[in-house]
Structure 1
Amino acid sequence: MTSLRTFQHEIDEIHNREVARQRALTSVSGDGDRPGEKGKNKSVTKGKAASTATKEEPKSIPAQPLNTIGSEEELDRVFELLVSTSETSHATARDVLASILTRRRGEMVLRVGSHTPKVVLYGAETADTESVGLGKNLNADDYERASQRLKEIVEDMGGVATTLSTGTDPPRSHVLVRLPPASVSDVPEVRCAVVGNVDSGKSTTLGVLSRGSLDDGRGKARVGLFRHKHEVETGRTSSVGMEILGFSTSGKPVLPNSQVVGSDSAAIVRRDKLGWENIAQNSAKLVSFIDLAGHEKYLKITLYGMTSGAPDAVILMVGGNAGLIGMSKEHLAIALALGVPVCVVISKIDMTPKNILADTIKQVTKIMKSPGCRKAPVFVENMETVVEVSLSLATERICPIFQISNVTGQGLDLLRTFLNLLPSSEGDQTKFAKDQPLEYSITEVWSVPYVGVVVNGILNSGSVTAGDTVFLGPDPNGGWAVTSIRSIHKKRHLVPSAEAGQCVSFALKKVRRATVRKGMAIVTRTETPPKAFRRFEGQVLILYHNTTLQKNYQAMLHCGAIRQTVRIIAMDNPNGVLRTGDRASVTFEFISSPEYIKEGMKLLFREGKTKGLGVITKLVS
């Protein structure tokens, strides 16, 4: 028996090793797009060099996560320069701060003064939680001088410094420093998957957050999010819905303007319509919500949204009056299996009796501390805690817990601030490499009148410009078609180019809708098209199965944007069967058509209640 936590560490190591090897091979072959070379065809000689180069494993990927750029020592040095009375010191502080902001893509949170240790702030100690306060200790005069000078420097750079939280004894504050993006292409985006059981308040919460108006207690806020008639009639989400919330340079949400029409006795609040293109144009940061289905029969849609959307965080909605029941546990297990950070939002606290709410909180706390989760629950009740958990969510084993009411508005400000501060993974070179060849996963396909085929997806690597000629595939025979990018849209706003980590839409030239499906890829055009594979080997762990898995067993495989039925054709287990908790090397075969896959890609397969987790270790011709 192999524990889930141990297996996750192993597949993460395999994934990182394979990604590093593939990037190294690309660098050796010269197949990566260098600045000024985007869209150019590479020679067949270089393509062959990539396939015949020795498989040397580099020590590490030369990249650094965004939320770790700018060490505490470097930031302490900034404040030492700020409290100085020398103009030369101030100029040096400006240069250092500008350098850190450039590396962090124009956004960071600074701790001015010495802050409360996380152990005290969170109310629970974990193995990776700081037990000492972060930030440089400043007296009252130095604190005021540093705060004032910081705002002047940021304003001089054209940005905005917004104070998020303050404290005394010692004086301290969190300051959000944000520079306005040059264009919509440069607006960072955070992707959040919203999951939870039926009637837990997912769509209602998203409606309130994105539109700014409170709910009436009867589902008024969620109606605008439904995409189909049966969703309006039943009140149940059955598709992957998308909503966006924009934040300005000062950190305020970009919401539609409202006006009160009528007398006091019959007043009606009317809100202007604000399209995605308007939100993107007026925002310095975007939060995209993937609204997923909560009903059991739509589990395949929810699972596809969580695997194909590459979310930076998962928001687990829990109804305060119902608790963590039904599909909520299933969704939590999937998020943990995929290794995505989780935060819990307990809704409907205005209508839940105190004793029932206390039971729900106790249940959530118990589940988060259980051996299967091993996360420290942190109840977010003030702005200082909000800032710290938003910065630590991806690096520490914590689970922020919010309590909100969509009718009274209680707790919504804390949740909005948390979303505003979540770091985007777009510029994270460990996940998305801009200097690698173009690779784009298709998650949605439409046929738009007078435009043609439009696809939506995520750029896994590389960069692309409108007019570039690319490969589209694979088709049912494993072949690739040549097409070109007619135009690129980001959140329905026309942009000239896109780079790794961004979620954008392409309008394709001379492509028929019937030939494009979800799970296909768009890659750099070369003399030799990439190869699609029908068979592959993978290290898998059976999370649950009520009997035994044997040869020829079929299940639905989720691997990034790929969703297709696979068949087990071989396994290295001596008994020839797999049970719950067993780990083995299994050879799979796609039933329908070959797919564009790579070694190191994580996979999740399911069939009914059966679930398995794994990673691709070898591609079989």
Structure 2
Amino acid sequence: MEKVLQLVRRGEGENIEFKEFLTSYHLREGRFRQLACQMNHRIIMGKGKAIYVIGVSDSGQIRGIEEKKFEETLDVLKRLAEEVEAEISSVERYSVNGGVVGIVEIRKANAKEHILVGTAGHVDHGKSTLVGCLITGKPDDGDGATRIYLDVLKHEIERGLSAEINFAVFGYKNGKTLRLKNPMSKGEKALVVENADKLVSFVDTVGHEPWLRTTIRGLLGQKIDYGLLVVAADDGVMRTTKEHLGIMLAMDLPVIVAITKADMVSREGLDEVIQEVSSTLRRVGRVPMLVKTERDARMAAELMAENRLVVPVIVTSAITLQGYDILEEMFLHLPKRYTAEKDFLMYIDKIYRVTGVGTVVSGSVKSGELREGEEVYIGPFEDGEFRKVRVQSIEMHHYRIDKAKSGDIIGAALKGVRYDELRRGMVLSRNELSAVWEFEADVYVFTHPTLISTGYEPVMHVETISETVTFVDMDKEYLKSGDRGKVRMRFKYHPQYVYEGQKFIFREGRSKGMGEITKIFV
């Protein structure tokens, strides 16, 4: 019993969690995912070990619970541990107040957490510069010197505008940041992946309006855990800012706002932008939280794990590195978001023909695990079929790995398929799937200048799929801005793999809307 008292005196934090009891209610999808994130975070903070004290309230009051409730709690903890690939290593029981108090130890071998952060925001608001400074720890020169670490195309560098989705990574080892001295070095990136016990991968999207489809692909096509919305202090909230925020919210992403270029405005000007950001968030039902210290950052990370309505707002400057220590502390404590999906699935984002290797496909693993040497299905091809291929090798940020898991951004070399047979939006899957031409969805129209009726043909964005769909049937005669409705849709050019529950964006010019697939027609 003395051990329980010692843990209560230490209080919650790092790898200790108090739970009075858990029931089948906590196995519901939303709550289960939150608790799985919480458990994995405790394990990471405890360097592979988490301690749950059962029969003790959140405030540290020792209550004791019935034996039946204790056993039910253990069952829930076991399910949570399995979800994050851990196991219960020991259980200690103590009698108190006519009930039971227990200490449950949960361990995970080779604990490594990997979160994906998608950046978005208006052009020239400093998204790439922010990420460049984070991964190197170096201040910017005021002319976007750190941006070159992410802009890789010739015209991106010449114009200073990102035009393609770019990736960056940094990590933590025992709570200390692992930085890149030379972010252009593939070898350095590989070393970070090898040595870190927590990885943060950034999916840096495009702010220029003509490339909105590329931004949507970056936010929908990767298994993003958190959205990082960037707002420049000298410019404020722009139309593109609101559009990108809308996409993040439509995809149910927890959001962080970084106000950049704080060194370029007065205190009064900065306060005005903070107020503008806060008002914008409140209008869409979110709760802004101004984060000023590392302690605030830890608190905000815990709140986000429990309630994605909370939006931390952090003031930064790439010149002085103001706010970067706060961002680093927050990313350290933000947990991986888990889903209930088990089988391996990955939507293909990019396709390469590599000399000496062959066909390579890349993307982020949506669910399950992929191992080097195993056979998986790829498709659908033009005839709607799926074909077996062998995974020859797997790389993550240029580091060779033998197993990829949910959320990892990988490149997989495949044997059994040609480069010219593949297209973006196809999938790699553990199981043979069914191609889809038509489906039904609940839709919501954000903006449209006139009326939408049967025959309307917008571009639909779901995962890495970007294809024209036709509205073949509607439950209303027409839809206008602000309307909701049920629509039967058909892919115009290719069969795709989609499934019930997936959310998507559709757009045509400046007309935009969102939807959720409710029924598949095979």
1:509 is displaced (CA, Å) by: 0.5
Deviations 1:370-391 (A, max 9, x none): 2xx2222111111221101112
1:103 is displaced (CA, Å) by: 7.3
- Structure 1 unaligned blocks of 5 or more: 1-58, 83-96, 107-153, 158-178, 259-269
The question of 1:383 aligning with 2:294 is answered yes
Secondary structure at the residue paired with 2:480?
A: coil
When residues 255 and 459 of structure 1 are mapped into structure 2, their CA distance, relative to the original with a 3 A threshold, is: closer
Secondary structure at the residue paired with 2:219?
A: helix
User: 1:617 corresponds to which residue?
Assistant: 518
Secondary structure at the residue paired with 1:314?
A: strand
1:274 is displaced (CA, Å) by: 5.6
Structure with greater Cα Rg:
1
Distance across 1 between alignment mates of 2:185 and 2:516: 47
Secondary structure at the residue paired with 1:554?
A: coil
Secondary structure at the residue paired with 2:497?
A: coil
One-letter amino acid of the structure 2 residue matched with residue 546 of structure 1: P
Deviations 1:416-441 (A, max 9, x none): 1111111112xx2xx1533x3x3221
Does the CA contact (< 8 Å) of 1:380 and 1:401 recur in 2? Answer: yes
User: 2:126 corresponds to which residue?
Assistant: 201
User: 1:343 corresponds to which residue?
Assistant: 256
Distance across 2 between alignment mates of 1:503 and 1:213: 25
Secondary structure at the residue paired with 2:190?
A: helix
1:395 is displaced (CA, Å) by: 2.7
Deviations 1:204-244 (A, max 9, x none): 11111011211111111111211111111110001001001
Distance across 2 between alignment mates of 1:548 and 1:364: 32
Deviates most, 64-73 or 410-419: 64-73
One-letter amino acid of the structure 2 residue matched with residue 356 of structure 1: G
When residues 105 and 403 of structure 1 are mapped into structure 2, their CA distance, relative to the original with a 3 A threshold, is: farther
When residues 358 and 585 of structure 1 are mapped into structure 2, their CA distance, relative to the original with a 3 A threshold, is: same
Secondary structure at the residue paired with 1:279?
A: helix
When residues 401 and 586 of structure 1 are mapped into structure 2, their CA distance, relative to the original with a 3 A threshold, is: same
User: 2:451 corresponds to which residue?
Assistant: 548
User: 1:453 corresponds to which residue?
Assistant: 359
Distance across 1 between alignment mates of 2:238 and 2:498: 35
Distance across 1 between alignment mates of 2:78 and 2:485: 50
Counterpart selection for 1:411 from 323, 327, 344: 323
The question of 1:74 aligning with 2:54 is answered yes
Distance across 1 between alignment mates of 2:485 and 2:81: 46
Secondary structure at the residue paired with 1:246?
A: strand
When residues 247 and 63 of structure 1 are mapped into structure 2, their CA distance, relative to the original with a 3 A threshold, is: same
1:317-328 map, 5 Å: 317-328=230-241
User: 2:282 corresponds to which residue?
Assistant: 369
The question of 1:420 aligning with 2:332 is answered yes
Distance across 2 between alignment mates of 1:100 and 1:303: 32
Deviations 1:528-582 (A, max 9, x none): x432111111111112111100111111101122211111111111xx2111122
Distance across 2 between alignment mates of 1:357 and 1:570: 49
One-letter amino acid of the structure 1 residue matched with residue 175 of structure 2: G
When residues 473 and 349 of structure 1 are mapped into structure 2, their CA distance, relative to the original with a 3 A threshold, is: same
Deviations 1:587-614 (A, max 9, x none): 1111111111112221211111211211
Q: Indicate the structure whose relative CO is greater, using CA pairs within 8 Å and at least 6 residues apart.
A: 1
When residues 550 and 510 of structure 1 are mapped into structure 2, their CA distance, relative to the original with a 3 A threshold, is: same
- Structure 2 unaligned blocks of 5 or more: 1-26, 40-49, 63-76, 87-104
Does the CA contact (< 8 Å) of 2:346 and 2:366 recur in 1? Answer: yes
User: 2:171 corresponds to which residue?
Assistant: 246
Does the CA contact (< 8 Å) of 2:388 and 2:416 recur in 1? Answer: no
Counterpart selection for 1:519 from 425, 440, 454: 425
1:316 is displaced (CA, Å) by: 0.7
1:101 is displaced (CA, Å) by: 8.5
Does the CA contact (< 8 Å) of 2:186 and 2:397 recur in 1? Answer: no
1:315 is displaced (CA, Å) by: 0.6
The question of 1:190 aligning with 2:103 is answered no
User: 1:392 corresponds to which residue?
Assistant: 303
1:394 is displaced (CA, Å) by: 3.8
Distance across 2 between alignment mates of 1:604 and 1:449: 36
When residues 538 and 191 of structure 1 are mapped into structure 2, their CA distance, relative to the original with a 3 A threshold, is: same
One-letter amino acid of the structure 2 residue matched with residue 616 of structure 1: I
Distance across 2 between alignment mates of 1:197 and 1:329: 9
RMSD: 3.2
Does the CA contact (< 8 Å) of 1:537 and 1:585 recur in 2? Answer: yes
1:221-620 map, 5 Å: 221-248=146-173, 250-256=174-180, 275-370=188-283, 373-396=284-307, 397-425=309-337, 428=338, 431-434=339-342, 436=343, 438-524=344-430, 529-573=432-476, 576-620=477-521
Distance across 2 between alignment mates of 1:351 and 1:500: 40
- Give me the identity figure in percent: 29
Does the CA contact (< 8 Å) of 1:318 and 1:347 recur in 2? Answer: yes
Distance across 2 between alignment mates of 1:101 and 1:577: 49
Does the CA contact (< 8 Å) of 2:121 and 2:244 recur in 1? Answer: yes
Does the CA contact (< 8 Å) of 1:433 and 1:500 recur in 2? Answer: no
Secondary structure at the residue paired with 2:262?
A: coil
One-letter amino acid of the structure 1 residue matched with residue 270 of structure 2: L
1:68 is displaced (CA, Å) by: 4.3
1:367 is displaced (CA, Å) by: 1.1
When residues 398 and 60 of structure 1 are mapped into structure 2, their CA distance, relative to the original with a 3 A threshold, is: closer
1:272 is displaced (CA, Å) by: 8.5
When residues 272 and 305 of structure 1 are mapped into structure 2, their CA distance, relative to the original with a 3 A threshold, is: closer
Secondary structure at the residue paired with 1:275?
A: helix
Distance across 2 between alignment mates of 1:200 and 1:328: 10
One-letter amino acid of the structure 1 residue matched with residue 353 of structure 2: S
When residues 312 and 102 of structure 1 are mapped into structure 2, their CA distance, relative to the original with a 3 A threshold, is: same
Does the CA contact (< 8 Å) of 1:67 and 1:391 recur in 2? Answer: no
Secondary structure at the residue paired with 2:458?
A: strand
When residues 351 and 193 of structure 1 are mapped into structure 2, their CA distance, relative to the original with a 3 A threshold, is: same
Distance across 1 between alignment mates of 2:258 and 2:161: 19
Does the CA contact (< 8 Å) of 1:544 and 1:610 recur in 2? Answer: yes
Does the CA contact (< 8 Å) of 2:353 and 2:419 recur in 1? Answer: yes
More strand by share: 2
User: 1:86 corresponds to which residue?
Assistant: none
Deviations 1:87-143 (A, max 9, x none): xxxxxxxxxx9999897668xxxxxxxxxxxxxxxxxxxxxxxxxxxxxxxxxxxxx
One-letter amino acid of the structure 2 residue matched with residue 252 of structure 1: K
Distance across 2 between alignment mates of 1:356 and 1:77: 45
Secondary structure at the residue paired with 1:519?
A: coil
1:291 is displaced (CA, Å) by: 0.6
1:181 is displaced (CA, Å) by: 6.3
Distance across 1 between alignment mates of 2:135 and 2:109: 21
Distance across 1 between alignment mates of 2:289 and 2:137: 26
When residues 388 and 566 of structure 1 are mapped into structure 2, their CA distance, relative to the original with a 3 A threshold, is: same
Distance across 1 between alignment mates of 2:216 and 2:186: 31
TM-score calculated relative to the size of structure 1: 0.68
